[in-house]
Chain A
C-alpha cells in the first residue's frame, strides 16, 4: 500500500521550443512573401502622367497649383493638352524623365494611393517647390 507521506514539488522554468533566430527567420520570410505580392507590373508613362495630372487637378484644385501652372477653369484638360498624355504611346520627355516625375509625384501620394484621394495643398506646394523641372514641363516652359 503506497502512502504519499511527503510530496515535494519542483517546478522548472518553461523552455521555449522555438528559438529567437528561428522566429526572426519566419517573420522575415513571411514579410518577404507578402511584400512580393503587393505590386503589379510597371504602369505605362501615359497612365503615370494622367495620374499626376488628375491628382493636381482633383477638385477643387489647390490655389498654388493653379497659380504656379497658369491653369484656367478646365485644369485637367489644359494639362493633358500641354503634356499630350492622352496619346497611348506617350513617353516622358527628358528632362524631366519618368524617374524624376515619379519622384516628384510621391508627395501627392501621402494622403493615399487611391486615384480619387485629393492631395493636401501643403504636399502640392512641396512638389512645386522642389521640382522646378517638372513644373517647367507642365507649363511647357523651356527648361
Chain B
C-alpha cells in the first residue's frame, strides 16, 4: 500500500517538470548598401627610399603604417527566437486533473467513514487508517502535486512563443592594404655588413647621403638606431647597382686596366655591367673598356679550355669532395678568385646561366660563349674554368656564381 502510494507520488512529481527549449535562427534579408570604410592602421616599421646620384647614394628613411580599406556589405537581419515547452501542456492537464481529484477528496472527506480499519493492527499496535484519513492524505498529496504542476505548466505556456528582433549586419567582402602615413625619421643610419654595423651617419629630415666607400663591401641591410630598415625591390636593385659602381669606379687609366689580372678584369666587368644601369655613373663606359681589355688578354670564344686555364691560373679546384668546395660552401673563397669546376648539370637557370651540382654544393655557371653541344641538359658532366664573382639569386635559388671563360663536356 505504502509502496504504491510512493510510486504514484513519484510519477506525479516527475510530470511537474516542464523544460523550455529556446531555438534561435537568423534570417538574412536583402542587401541594403555597399560602402567602403577604413580599417585600423598597423605600424609597418621603417623603410628607406634610395636615390643614386653618383658618387653619392641618397637614402631617405621613412616610418609608415599599413592602412586597410574594407568594402563592406550591409544587410538587414532578423533574429527569430522560438521558445517552446513541450511538457507544459501535459503538465497543465495532469495538474488540473490531480488538483481536481485532490480537492474533491478534501471537500467530500466527511462522506467517508471515520471508523478505523479494525481488521488490521500494524507493528506499532495501531489499527489501520479510516477511509476518511486515507481520503484526506491522498487529497493533500494530490493538491500539493497538482498546484505546482498547474503553475509550472502555465509558466511554460507563458514562456512559449516567438520573438523577432531586427538588426544590421556588416560583411566585409573585400579588403585592400596599402602603405600610408609616410613620415621621415631622424637618427643614425648604419650600413650592416657581415661583421656588424658600420659607423652610423645622422639623417636630416630623414635623409642621409652615403659615399661609395660605405657600400663597397658586402651589405646585408640597413639599420636606423638599431632598428632594421627595409627596402622595396626597386630600391634594393638601385642600391645593388650603386654598390657595383662603387666596386668598379674609378676604373683608372688604360695602363692600369692593362695591368689587371684576368680574374680581376672579369669581376670588374661583372660589376660594371650592373653599374651600367645607373644613369650618369659611367658604368657602360667602364664595361666597354674592361671588355676590350679582357678580349685583348683572353679571347673568350676562340681559346681552348687549356688556354683559359693558362690565362686564369685557377687557384681553386671545385670538385666533389675537394677542400676548396668546403671552403666555398662556408664563404671562405673571396670574390675574384679564379676557379676550375667539375660537376653535373642540374638545369638551365636563365639565358647563359646553368645550375651545376658539384657534390653537395650548387654553383651557377654563367657563360658569354656557347655551351658545348648539344647545349646544357640534365645529367651532363661538365668542366668549367672562370672567376667566382660572388653569389647570385635566381628565384628561390641563392648560389655562388662562376663567370666561366670556357666550358667543356667532361671527358
| Interface of A toward B, CB cutoff 8 Å | 1-12, 14-18, 22-23, 26-27, 29-31, 33-43, 47-48, 51, 98, 102, 105-106, 109, 113-115
Q: Which residues of A contact B165 (CB under 8 A)?
A: none
Q: Quick check: B123 and A9 within 8 Å, CB to CB?
A: no
B78's nearest neighbour on chain A, judged by CB, is: A2
Q: Which residues of A contact B124 (CB under 8 A)?
A: 39, 102
Q: Quick check: B123 and A109 within 8 Å, CB to CB?
A: yes
How far apart are the CA atoms of A12 and B159 in the complex, in Å?
Answer: 14
Q: Quick check: B20 and A15 within 8 Å, CB to CB?
A: yes
Given contacts A2-B30, A30-B9, contact A41 B122 (CB under 8 A): no
Q: Quick check: A114 and B18 within 8 Å, CB to CB?
A: no
Given contacts A33-B137, A39-B128, contact A48 B121 (CB under 8 A): yes
**Top 10 closest pairs, chain A to chain B, by CB:** A37-B137, A40-B116, A14-B19, A6-B28, A33-B140, A40-B127, A10-B24, A37-B133, A12-B22, A8-B26
Q: Quick check: B137 and A39 within 8 Å, CB to CB?
A: no
Given contacts A7-B27, A40-B133, A98-B125, contact A31 B21 (CB under 8 A): no
Q: Quick check: A3 and B30 within 8 Å, CB to CB?
A: yes
Would you list 29 pairs from A and B whose C-beta atoms are within 8 A, ordered by A residue? Answer: A2-B78, A4-B27, A4-B28, A7-B27, A7-B28, A10-B23, A10-B25, A18-B16, A26-B13, A27-B9, A27-B13, A30-B9, A31-B6, A33-B141, A34-B5, A35-B137, A36-B133, A36-B136, A37-B129, A37-B138, A38-B137, A40-B126, A42-B125, A42-B126, A42-B127, A43-B125, A48-B125, A102-B125, A109-B122
B10's nearest neighbour on chain A, judged by CB, is: A27
Q: Which residues of A contact B148 (CB under 8 A)?
A: 18, 22, 26
B29's nearest neighbour on chain A, judged by CB, is: A2
How far apart are the CA atoms of A11 and B84 in the complex, in Å?
Answer: 11
Q: Which residues of A contact B120 (CB under 8 A)?
A: 113-115
Interface size on B, residues (CB 8 A): 54
How far apart are the CA atoms of A2 and B29 in the complex, in Å?
Answer: 6
CB B67 to nearest CB in A, in angstroms, measures 30
Q: Which residues of B contact A3 (CB under 8 A)?
A: 28-30
Q: Quick check: A23 and B27 within 8 Å, CB to CB?
A: no
Q: Quick check: A11 and B23 within 8 Å, CB to CB?
A: yes
Q: Which residues of A contact B5 (CB under 8 A)?
A: 34, 38
B132's nearest neighbour on chain A, judged by CB, is: A37
Does residue B17 face the partner (Cβ distance < 8 Å to A)?
A: yes
Q: Quick check: B116 and A41 within 8 Å, CB to CB?
A: yes
How far apart are the CA atoms of A30 and B28 in the complex, in Å?
Answer: 51
Chain B 5-45 interface residues, beta-carbon cutoff 8 Å to A: 5-6, 9-10, 12-13, 16-30
Q: Quick check: B25 and A18 within 8 Å, CB to CB?
A: no
Q: Quick check: A37 and B134 within 8 Å, CB to CB?
A: yes
How far apart are the CA atoms of A114 and B29 in the complex, in Å?
Answer: 75
Given contacts A39-B124, A105-B123, contact A16 B137 (CB under 8 A): no
Interface centre among A8, A43, A106 (most CB of B within 10 A): A43
Q: Which residues of A contact B17 (CB under 8 A)?
A: 16-18, 23
Does residue B376 face the partner (Cβ distance < 8 Å to A)?
A: no
Excluding A17-B17, A36-B137, A40-B127, 13 further A-B contacts by CB distance (< 8 Å) are A2-B29, A7-B27, A9-B25, A11-B24, A12-B23, A16-B17, A34-B5, A37-B135, A37-B137, A38-B5, A43-B127, A102-B124, A113-B128
How far apart are the CA atoms of A16 and B21 in the complex, in Å?
Answer: 9
